Amino acid sequence: MREAFHEQLDAIFDDLTAICGSVETAVRLATEALLTGDPTTAEAVISADVEIDRARERVEDSAFLLLSLQQPVASDLRTVVAALRMVSDLERMGDLSVHVAKIARLRVPNVAVPAEIRPTVERMAQVAEDMVMRVGKIIADRNVEDALALVHVDEEMDTLRRDSFASLLSNDWSHGVEAAVDVALLGRYYERIADHAVSVANRVVFVVTGEHPRSVDAPA
């Protein structure tokens, strides 16, 4: 009975890893749409989000079934509850990718990101995608060291967000309010993707060690 229970737990973590892969694709394609002004790619990201939502529902159903049919001990209960919270974070990361794609679609046939701030936005997108990729491995391997190291990657994202705001507030900004709002929102979306990635990594630490790292909860 316990062996079957742990096999089902492992299957849930396999599903989380797969969802993370879908989120990584969403981040990459949303950024591509943003930087190229391609409405087809933007629509693909928006349409594909329903699959991430359905995958989240399957994980939740599996987790609740385990809780109702089994009597998990403390460590197993910790794992199931953490999985439920992780899948919520992952779904939110997918939603944030959709927000990026919607900004791209809104500005077609133009590109939403002015040329002078494009390198900063590109780097934010690269960091976000890299963090999602790392989280997929962290979930699959349950590697505590890699999970704890992710916070240092997030520090670069925080720096990039500050840089983007400095550009918006500069007297040299000549692209108007609409572009400024777009860039401010994009910075928030990429930063939140990174925050949720750290949250997922911290939950993996909790599953493995039973201890809470600092800043477990990501902002909404």
pLDDT at 214: 63
User: Can you tell me the mean pLDDT for 14-37?
Assistant: 97
pLDDT at 95: 98
pLDDT at 144: 94
Pair of tokens at residue 133: 């990729």
**Percent of the chain having pLDDT more than 90?**
78
pLDDT at 60 over 90: yes
- Which pLDDT band, with edges at 50, 70 and 90, does 72 fall under? low
User: Can you tell me the mean pLDDT for 77-85?
Assistant: 91
How does pLDDT run across 118-174, given as a tens digit for each residue? 999 999 999 999 999 999 999 999 999 999 999 889 999 999 999 999 988 888 899
User: Can you tell me the mean pLDDT for 74-93?
Assistant: 91
pLDDT at 219 over 70: no
pLDDT at 1: 54
CATH code, 2-209: 1.20.58.220
Cα angle for residues 174, 177, 183 (degrees, 5° grid): 85
Helix ranges (DSSP H) in the chain: 2-36, 39-69, 74-107, 118-141, 144-169, 176-209
pLDDT at 71 over 60: yes
How does pLDDT run across 94-116, given as a tens digit for each residue? 999 999 999 999 999 999 999 99
- Peptide bond between residue 109 and the one before it cis (omega within 30 degrees of 0): yes
pLDDT at 215 over 60: no
Q: Which residues contact 134 (CB under 8 A, 6 or more apart)?
A: 146, 150, 153, 197, 201
* Cβ count within 10 A of residue 48: 17
Tell me phi and psi for residue 41, to 5 degrees.
-65, -40
Domain segments of the chain as ranges: 2-209
Asked if residue 202 lies in contact with residue 180, where contact means CB atoms within 8 angstroms, the answer is no
Pair of tokens at residue 158: 């925080």
pLDDT at 217 over 70: no
Q: What does the chain come to in residues?
A: 220
pLDDT at 93 over 60: yes
Round the CA-based radius of gyration of the chain to a whole number and report it.
Answer: 19
pLDDT at 4 over 80: no
pLDDT at 2: 66
- Which pLDDT band, with edges at 50, 70 and 90, does 218 fall under? very low
What is the 8-class DSSP label of residue 73? -
User: Can you tell me the mean pLDDT for 25-29?
Assistant: 98
Asked if residue 127 lies in contact with residue 160, where contact means CB atoms within 8 angstroms, the answer is yes
Q: How far apart are CA 220 and CA 206, in angstroms?
A: 20
User: Phi/psi zone of residue 185: left (φ > 0), alpha (ψ -120 to 50 degrees), beta?
Assistant: alpha
Asked if residue 160 lies in contact with residue 138, where contact means CB atoms within 8 angstroms, the answer is no
* Best CA proximity match to 169, nearest among 184, 156, 155, 159: 184
